Every structure is written in C-alpha cells, then in structure tokens.
Chains A and B, each alone.
Chain A
Amino acid sequence: MKNNRRSFIKLAGIAAAGLGIAPRAMAAAMGGSAPIKDDPKGITAKQWAMVIDTTKLNTAKDIEKLAKVCHTVHNVPSIEGKQEVKWLWPDIYEHSFTEQENPHLPDAVTRRQYALLCNHCENPPCVRVCPTKATYKRPDGIVDMDYHRCIGCRYCMAGCPYGSRSFNWGEPRDHLDLDALNKEYPTRMRGVVEKCNFCVERLAVGKLPACVEASNGAIHFGDLNDPNSEIRAVLRERFTIRRKPSAGTEPSVYYII
C-alpha cells in the first residue's frame, strides 16, 4: 500500500514535470530553430491565377515549346500513347471548351490550339476525393501533389473533369534522359499520380512559373484576390472564358479569346 502510494506520487510528479516541459520542448523543436526557412525572395499570393492570351499563344508548335520547358524543369517523362504523362499540352477548341462550341465560330478561334494544364480550381474535385490528402490545396490556391503520400488509387483522375492528371503506369525514369535531369526537382517513382503544380518550387524562390517566363508575355500570372494586380487588370479589360464552368470547380486558368 505504502509502496503503491509512493510510486503513484513519483509517477504523478514525473508526469507533471513532463506536462510542463513538453510544450516548450515541442516549440523548440518545431518553431524558432526550424532548419528550413522561407526564402525571403519567394513570392506569395492569396489565389494564384493564370490568363492565357490565345490571340498570341495559339499554335501547337509554340505550346509544345512551352510544354518542353515545363517538362524539362519538372523531369516529366516522355511516353508515347495512352499511358503518357503530361503537365502542359496543346489541344483544339472543340476538345478544350466542350460546352462552349457552336458550328459557326470564327475561323480564327477554331484554327487555334489552346494550352491546357491543371486549372488549380478554387473548388477542386480531385482534392475532395483523394483518400490520403496526397493531393491538397495550398493556402495560395495551388493544388499540389505529395508524391510520397500517393497510393496510386487514381481516384483524383476520375474526379478531375479536365483530364489534367497523369499516372506513372510504369517506371518514369526509363523515359527520362538521366544525364539531363533537373537536379532541383525530384523525379517520380512508378505508381503515383502527377500534374502541373503552377511551379510552386519556383514561386518559393521568387521565380515565375517556367511556362509564364518562356511565353514572351502571352501568359499572365498573378494574384486573383488582389484588385490591383496585373492579372486583374487584364481580366477587367479583355474577354475571357474558362473550361467547363458548369462543373462548379472555379478554375484559376482563364483564356483570352
């Protein structure tokens, strides 16, 4: 009995001490002395958005040039056929704006090719369906992927109404030039989903997305929530459309027609 009481008091004392110390230890481990700090040059926004001027950027050749830049920067494997992986690609009006076609569109509009990519929806169905939070929406509106969390169930691919997601059906590194890898971005393993990420890794160090930088001004990029941003000025002045408005996903990629 006596022994029991003594050991109880001892335990209680240790527990109380632990409770007192633990939060401070946790704070020390997580807060002030965190080894990774935000780059002061990094650029931030409330909701990143893109406006693609299709009067300037509209040939398959030009869009493929941007796709090449994007795919090189992100080590995207080049695979032929239906198991291909792509982040940015060209397609015709009929395929891009399936709900907004009519048989009498101006030739200029139907002749053009349109740059397609992940829409970074404000209301992304892929995030809603993902069972592991491997795909998630960042506070800056970018829908990003955690390649290490993904179990490869491909539910996000079924959920995406824009066909913007790719799956690594096989080993992606077999389709990469391993000598010409971009060492600043990881390669993927087989069995995970990947997609355009609005170049989060470049924004973090103050660079614009690779396609925006390579577009010669045909792609505008900025904060949709800032009324004074350049992108809002463009949206005020020019007529723009988005893909599949009826899906209610609120895409953050706008097209000047």
Chain B
Amino acid sequence: MLEIALKGSKRYYGWIAFLLVLIGIGSMAWLDQLINGLKITGMGRDVSWGFYISQFTYLVGLAASGVMIVLPNYFHGYKPNKHMVIFGEFMAIAACIMCLLFIVVDIGQPTRMLNVILHATPNSILFWDMIVLNGYLGLNLLVGWVCLQADRARLPHPKWLKPFIYTSIIWAFSIHTVTAFLYQGLPGRHYWLTAILAARFLASAFCSGPAILLLVMMITEKFTTFKMPKKAVSTLVKIIMYAMCVNMFFFSLEVFTAFYSNMPGHMHPLVYLFAGYHGHTELVGLMWTFIGLAAVSITLLVTPKFRNNFKLLPWTLGILVIATWIDKGLGLLIGGFNPTPFHTITPYWPTAKELLVSMMVYAIGALVVTILFKIATEVKEELGQAQAMPCGCSTEDECDCTPECGCTDQCTCKEA
C-alpha cells in the first residue's frame, strides 16, 4: 500500500519537501547538540528536564487519543465512528514516534540508549514507559495496516486481529498511566507527588488528543475528498467536552487539597505558577492564560448552540489545545522542578536550538501523519467511504443531497 504515498499532486510533494527542509534545519541543531552536548539547551542543575520531555508528555496524550474513536466502535458497537478509526490509529503511530524521538533527543548519551534493554531495570518506570510506548506503536502499526489492507481488498477484517484490537484499547490507557507514574513517584517534587496525576493525565489526554486529531482531520478534508461523518464529529466533540470538564475538575481538586490543607510543599508550586514566588513571576501570565482559555473552551463546548456550530468548532478546539498545552506541556514540568529542593526558584526557558530540535521532531511527526493519512484517504476514496458530497455532507450522513433539495455548495441538507 505504500506505493500510494509515492503518487501525489505537486502540492503534496511541495508539502513533503517543505517538511524535509524543516527536518533538515532542525537536524543541524541536533547535530550541534550531539557534538557539544545538552549545554545548548536552557536546562540546568535544578530544572534538569525541559521542553523535550514536556513535549513528550503532551504527545503521549495525542497517542492515547485514538482510543476515544476506537473504543466506542469496538466496545459499544457505535458505528458512525468506523471510518475514523484508521485515522485515530495512524495518528497514534505518529504520536508514538514523536514521543520516542523526544526521549532520544533528550538523553545525554543516545549511543547508549540500548542500555535500557541490555540492563533492563524493572524498578525504573522509564523501563516500563519504553515498553508501553513501543508496544502501543507496534499494536497500532499492526492493527491499522492490516485493517486498511483488508478494507482495500474489500475483505472483512481478519478474526485473529480482534485480540490485538482489544489489547490496544486497554494499552492506550497504560501509556498515559505509566507516563504519569514517571512523575508521580518522586519524593520531594510536590507538584507531581499526587495520586490523581495519572487520572489528570488521562483526562487531559482525552480532551487534547481528540481535539488535535479533529483539527488535523479538518485540514485533511480541505485537501482530499474525505469527509468526516457529522455524527462521528459530534460524538467526538461531546467526548472532548466531558474530558475537558473532568480535566479542570481534577485540577481544582489539586488546588483545594493544597490550599485547604495549608501544606507548604503542596502550595508552593501552585503559588509559583499562578502568583509568583520569591519575586519570580515568569509563568504567571501564561498560567492565567491557561485558566482563561480553559474557561472559554468549556463555555463553547457545553453550550449546544456553540458546540454544534461547525464554523466555530476549529476555534474552540484550537483554544482547548493551547490551554491544555500550557497546563501539561509547560506548567506541569516547570512547576514540578520549582521550587527546587532548596526552596529557591530557577527559571527555565527553552533556547532557540532546543526549539529547532523540537521542530525537527514535530516535522517528522507531520511527515508520518501526511504519508499515513494520504494512504488512508486514497483507500477510502477507492472504496467510496466517507466521501464529501457537493452539499458539504459526508456519504455516511445519509442526507438528501440531490439537486431537487435545492441546495448549492454552501447549504447543508437536512438529514433524510
């Protein structure tokens, strides 16, 4: 099926070339890091993990997000989702690859990476994170590829695949739980030392992940004949809404525990993030932006009028992604290291080179997504599944899109 990815329009090749240029530029920065070491980053003795690890943490959520489409389809027989499943799985593949790459660029001795396997240490959560991430990558590659190949041959999905599909659904929860455990089990890092961290990770994954997936799908719709079934979109948006509400509820539980108990260790990171501590207010503006955007996105999501407005939806999702990224992609990590073990504040900010290396990883992710989505959308086109109709509906929507209904390109026909 890979040959499909080799045939494309000029625009498709232009996009691939653009990504390769970004990867090329970023890899120069990475080369610099390989030669000179991690001193080119903004990390230091006190904040010893930075932008790389926080991006990894955020992207694990994207990897886990596919399950929010796969699970309703297989566990609940909710079929409107069935043509979206493959995209969830392919997105998970790209996200897992980016996660693994962010770990690779973060370690000081990448040539010794295999020590994690050669000297396997099961008491280290990092060992388990390696297992669950690679396992999830493998499961999604297998399930996604085999299903798509069967679809293309117009054959039913093979029966032997079922156990792998069910395993992958449960596995999706494990990648986020284990990644949370990376942080959760450390004494002396109060912002992370909380039993609800894994639950918070899952809640934020199940809102931010599907939101990113939907945004990418909307872009995909612009360039292909693929069209998401409206029912599938609105179900996913409802899932995003509930997950975001739960996410913010869990966050408020943290705030209550810290401030009602009056325990200094629990309060200090939150004070640093939201009010500043020892005169350091680097993150205050960003953290309040997170609260503001989270409030806006929840308002837009819980109001049916706004939620069902497909014009407004990309903005709602964009706002949600920015809010959750500030919270989990930045605040969680920096708030965990600050205050330091000496109750001091060491501000952290990524350097330009660090951002270039991150850009390289994101561009590789985009390249994987482009190639996989290209294959998937072409196969859907061959099969005539979930294709756009002139009225803006999807062929799965069962709407009356004949000229007799009087609609032009712009109108949306009523469902039959």
Contact = CB atoms under 8 A, between A and B. Distances in A.
Interface of A: 81-86, 91, 94-96, 98, 125, 128-134, 149-155, 157-163, 166-171, 189-193, 244, 247-249
B85 to A, nearest CB: 34
B36 interface: yes
A248 B44 CA distance: 26
12 contacts: A96-B342, A98-B341, A129-B124, A151-B112, A153-B103, A153-B106, A159-B186, A160-B188, A167-B108, A190-B36, A191-B107, A244-B187
Contacts of B121: 130-133
Contacts of B108: 150-154, 167-168, 190-193
B37 A247 contact: no
Interface string B39-50: 101011111110
A191 B46 CA distance: 16
B119 interface: yes
Interface string B326-361: 000000000011001111101000000000000000
A243 to B, nearest CB: 9
Interface in B125-149: 125-127, 130
Interface residues of B, number: 45
B307 interface: no
Contacts of A84: 45
A169 to B, nearest CB: 4
Contact of A170 (B37, B123, B182, B189): B37
A160 B109 CA distance: 20
A169 B43 contact: yes
Contact of A82 (B45, B113, B130): B45
Given A150-B109, A163-B341, A128 B123 contact: yes
Given A149-B119, A244-B187, 5 more contacts: A150-B109, A158-B189, A158-B337, A162-B341, A192-B109
**Max chain B Cβ within 10 angstroms of own Cβ: one of A81, A153, A155, A191:** A153
Interface of B is mostly: loop
Interface in B174-203: 182-183, 185-189
Contacts of A150: 108-109, 112
B45 A166 contact: yes
A82 B116 contact: no
Interface string B161-185: 0000000000000000000001101
A150 B108 CA distance: 9
A132 B108 CA distance: 14
A161 B341 contact: yes
B116 A132 contact: yes
A82 B46 CA distance: 7
Given A83-B44, A192-B108, A248 B186 contact: no
Contact of A129 (B38, B109, B186): B186
Contacts of A83: 39, 43-45
B115 interface: yes
A81 B42 CA distance: 11
Contacts of B115: 131-132, 134, 149, 151
Contacts of A158: 48-49, 183, 186, 189, 336-337
**Max chain B Cβ within 10 angstroms of own Cβ: one of A98, A160, A166:** A98
| Interchain residue pairs A-B with the least CB separation, the first 6 | A152-B108, A161-B188, A191-B108, A82-B44, A170-B39, A95-B342
Contacts of B37: 168-171, 190-191
Contacts of B183: 158
A178 to B, nearest CB: 18
Contacts of B127: 131
A161 B343 contact: no
